[in-house]
Amino acid sequence: MNAAFSLNGKRALVTGANTGIGQAIAVGLAQAGAEVLCAGRRSCDETVAQIEAGGGVASSVLVDFADPMAGQTLFDGPDIDILINNAGIIRRDDALEFSEADWDAVMDVNLKALFFTTQAFGKAVFAREAQGAVVNISSLLAFQGGIRVPSYTASKHGVAGLTKLLANEWAARGINVNAVAPGYIDTNNTEALRNDPERNKAILERIPAGRWGQPEDIAGAAVYLCTPAAKYVHGTVLAVDGGWLAR
């Protein structure tokens, strides 16, 4: 493997690694040589099994990021060099009907937990005078408004903003902070859209690639941003959307 794209000797933490995009990223990191700690509110045993079946090294931990401070203790064990902030939730309703409970639940997981988990990671990396990489999973809705997902849209705009802020503060100190903004990906979060014939048709007609993305489409971009090949990439929000934003 080209050393510029190798993660041999690195240890990565992936949040929300039990399924979908998080699972694909965890597997991709392992294929690049990293040891992977898979964190999720549900068991990540399937992800660990996939990694081990491919000859990689992985472990798992149960963490519910509905508690925004739950990630604080994840960095008390072996050193972690890479943090993938993928854990996220979505709530759908018209803006006029959207509840405070749904607003708070989404913001707590998607934005507050992301920040304080990343803060703990940064403190741990700087304490040992090491280098590291953070990849935040934002969304196409960091660039657009969407419909019926007010807290999700606000949170993903916030993720993009925090990515840039942290890059400004940490780039010179040895931590690369970037984000990937997935387009319409075939995951649990988009099941309602795919099951709606009219919305599904409208979305597909807008995507130049002509298909929904797969979690593996996001994994390659995320893994790249963790490798030495991306050492001069800071504060980028990389859209992986099948060309959606180009339309």
The one catalytic residue in 152, 184, 224, 232 is 152
- 8 Å CB contact between 37 and 14: yes
- 8 Å CB contact between 19 and 188: yes
Tokens 């099948």 sit on residue: 242
Helix locations, the chain, DSSP H: 20-31, 45-53, 100-107, 113-127, 150-170, 191-194, 197-206, 215-226
φ and ψ at 143, to 5 degrees?
Answer: -110, -20
SS (H, E, C) 179-195: EEEECCECCHHHHHHHC
* Distance separating alpha carbons of residues 240 and 221, to the nearest angstrom: 8
Is 184 a residue of the active site? no
* Distance separating alpha carbons of residues 35 and 10, to the nearest angstrom: 6
Question: Which sequence positions are flagged as catalytic?
Answer: 152
